[in-house]
């Protein structure tokens, strides 16, 4: 569907070939070997973390300000305990 509409596809998979006829513009192959019955996602997670590092860096000041806005929202809504407002315990 994506190809038909001309959209680009970035595929992160444990194989560069996932099915006949499916074409991805970019492929990041990850290892998912595990000692149990399911695939292990440590490798895929590491790749995503790296990609996020690049995207946030590429986002520059705009991304930084957006992240700060999320943080401010959480601070304002009391989602985090603030160390500077220490609850009194005992004394």
- Neighbouring residues of 30: CB distance < 8 A, sequence distance ≥ 6: 12, 13, 14, 43, 44, 47
21/81 with CB nearer other proteins = 81
Q: Which is nearer to other proteins, 17 or 66 (CB)?
A: 66
Beta strand 26-29 pairing with 10-13: parallel
Q: Which residues bind other proteins (CB under 8 A)?
A: 8, 10, 12, 25-35, 38-48, 50-52, 54-56, 58-59, 63, 66-67, 70, 82-84, 86, 89
Dihedral, 77, 81, 85, 90 alpha carbons, nearest 10 = 130
Using the minimum distance from each CB to other proteins, give the nearer residue, 20 or 82: 82
Closest approach, Cβ 40 to other proteins, in A, equals 6
């Amino acid at each position: 569907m994506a190809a038909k509409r001309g959209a680009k596809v970035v595929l992160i998979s444990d194989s560069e070939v996932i099915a006949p006829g499916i074409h991805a513009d970019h492929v990041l192959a990850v290892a998912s070997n595990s000692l149990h019955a399911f695939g292990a996602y440590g490798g895929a997670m590491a790749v995503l973390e790296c990609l996020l590092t690049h995207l946030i860096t590429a986002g520059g000041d705009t991304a930084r300000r957006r992240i700060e806005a999320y943080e401010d929202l959480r601070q304002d809504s009391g989602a985090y305990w603030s160390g500077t407002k220490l609850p009194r315990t005992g004394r």
